[in-house]
Amino acid sequence: MPIAALRAPLPDPATDIADAVRARIDGLAKPPGSLAALETLAVRLAAAQGRSTPVADRARVVVFAGDHGVAREESVSPYPPEVTASMVRTFAAGRAAVAVLARQAGAELEVVDVGVAGLTGLPPGTDGVRVVGARVAEGTANLAAGPAMTPAQRDEALQAGAAAADRAAADGVQVLALGEMGIGNTTPATAITCRLLGRPAEELTGPGTGLDGAGVSHKARVIQRALDRTDVTGPLDVLAELGGFELVALVGCMLQAAHHRIPVVLDGFIVGASALAAVRLDPRLRPYLVAATRSAEPGHAAILAAVDAGEPLLDLGLRLGEASGAALALPLLRSACAIVEGMATLDDVLSGRI
């Protein structure tokens, strides 16, 4: 196993505490179950954190960014690969969607360059944004033609992700919202999902940020070439053969966050593909995951069923990535925590103590 996060078994969720929180919620001043998904969320956070009063005040959004050989060589995105670097600069300037949404949610934003091509130096972060350099290479190799990365590069990306979780734990972060930036990265995400779920490319390939029908067909053929090229099925091998640096870093970050008992809010399809690989590496990761948003990508529903991260909290039709959905879901986590702590019990109300 390449990193410590993969060696040690993940802690079990605190089911005793979860049961106590469920009982407390059932006794609050409202019809039982009437806050529905918010109640389930509070119980899930309590189990993950091992706290009878779950907390989500200190939240950090982490966006891993990387480039992709397959985008450079196979035209799988309507946007040129240079946009990845441009967007990292826009994150740093606090003016990308996720920067605006994280600020609005009162969350910090950390951008981790794990493999952005053509980014000279690291842009200084402004306005609550931190940029971290952990570049494994200037983008991956073309996964349709050969392995996307070497095993050593994969391990380096896993480590970069785990390091982000360690920083969060050291800073007292209570929940992590994870996202990604990388032009073309629905292609590796779809390839990973197809391989781990045993599905053909044409079933799970979608338009990403905006391909037309012909573009989707072309992308599905590129992904199928990659799937036909290699028959690995172990999650670590799949990540090296079909992954992207940001996708691999997300895996390391999720697993290490669970070691720290920090719940992880998953953005859409691409983060979902990483969650799928991470859950294959250690199924005990599941209770630490919270699905923020339902993606329009055809592979996402299958991922959600496989990773068991709960029903997505939001279904707004988002198809941006960047952790935009995860950032938008943060107030719901805080609200779930607040009801556990702030509400009167039904006994208080009926007995006239209020």
Contact between 335 and its own copies by CB under 8 A: the answer reads: yes
Interaction between residue 350 and its own copies (CB under 8 A): yes
Among 103, 199, 225, 260, binds its own copies (CB under 8 A): 103
Q: Strands 175-181 and 264-266: what pairing?
A: parallel
Segment 294 to 313, residues that bind its own copies, using CB under 8 A: 313
Show contacts with its own copies in window 61-80 (CB under 8 A): 78-79
Q: Does 314 bind its own copies (CB under 8 A)?
A: yes
Residues 81-100 touching its own copies, rule: CB under 8 A, are 83, 86-87, 89-90, 93-97, 99-100
Report helix, strand or coil for 314.
strand
Q: Is 29 a binder of its own copies (CB under 8 A)?
A: yes
Smallest distance from the beta carbon of 105 to its own copies, in angstroms? 7
Count of CB atoms within 10 A of residue 159's CB?
22
Among 9, 31, 172, 213, indicate the residue that binds its own copies (CB under 8 A).
31
Residue 160 beta carbon to its own copies: minimum distance, rounded to whole angstroms = 25
Q: Report the candidate in 158, 174, 170 with the shortest Cα–Cα distance to residue 262.
A: 174
Q: Which of 214, 219, 228, 271 is nearest to 248 (CA)?
A: 271
Q: CB 90 → its own copies: shortest distance, Å?
A: 5
H-assigned helices in 230-265: 235-242, 245-259
Question: In 10 A of CB 11, how many CB atoms?
Answer: 15
Does 181 help bind its own copies (rule: CB under 8 A)? no
22 binds its own copies, rule: CB under 8 A: no
Instruction: Give catalytic status of residue 322 as yes or no.
Output: yes
Told to check if 44 binds its own copies by CB under 8 A, we report: no
Would you give the distance in Å from CA 138 to the centre of its chain?
22
Asked whether position 150 contacts its own copies by CB under 8 A, the answer is no
Position among 3, 5, 38, 116 found at the interface with its own copies (CB under 8 A): 38
Can you tell me the distance from the alpha carbon of 290 to that of 280, in angstroms, rounded to the nearest whole number? 17
Structure-token pair, residue 108: 């910090």
Task: Please identify which residue in 8, 19, 32, 212 interacts with its own copies, judged by CB under 8 A.
Answer: 32
By CB under 8 A, residue 122 contacts its own copies: no
**Is there a contact between 3 and 158 (Cβ–Cβ < 8 Å)?**
yes
Backbone angles phi, psi at 178, to 5 degrees: -110, 140
Residue with Cβ nearer its own copies (195 or 334): 334
CA angle 269, 271, 275 (to 5 degrees): 110
Nearer to its own copies, 1 or 37 (CB): 37
Beta bridge partners of 129: 109
119 binds its own copies (CB under 8 A): no
Comparison of 11 and 331: residue with beta carbon closer to its own copies: 331
Q: Which of 138, 203, 322, 341 is catalytic?
A: 322
In the complex, least distance from residue 147 CB atom to its own copies, rounded to whole angstroms: 29
Residue 338 touching its own copies (CB under 8 A): yes
As a whole number of angstroms, the distance between CA 15 and CA 165 comes to 23
> 3-state SS of the chain: helix, strand, coil percent to 5?
50, 10, 40
CA 72 to the chain's CA centroid: 24
Structure tokens at 243: 């992954």
Of the candidates 298, 294, 303, 302, the residue with the CA atom closest to the CA atom of residue 247: 303
CB of 152 to its own copies, least distance (A): 33
Reading the block at residue 215, the tokens are: 């573009």
Nearer to its own copies, 8 or 350 (CB): 350
**Is the CB of residue 161 less than 8 Å from the CB of residue 187?**
no
Any idea which residues carry the catalytic annotation?
A: 322
| Residues at the interface with its own copies (CB under 8 A) | 28-38, 78-79, 83, 86-87, 89-90, 93-97, 99-101, 103-105, 209-210, 313-320, 324, 328, 331-332, 334-335, 338-339, 342-344, 348-350, 352, 354
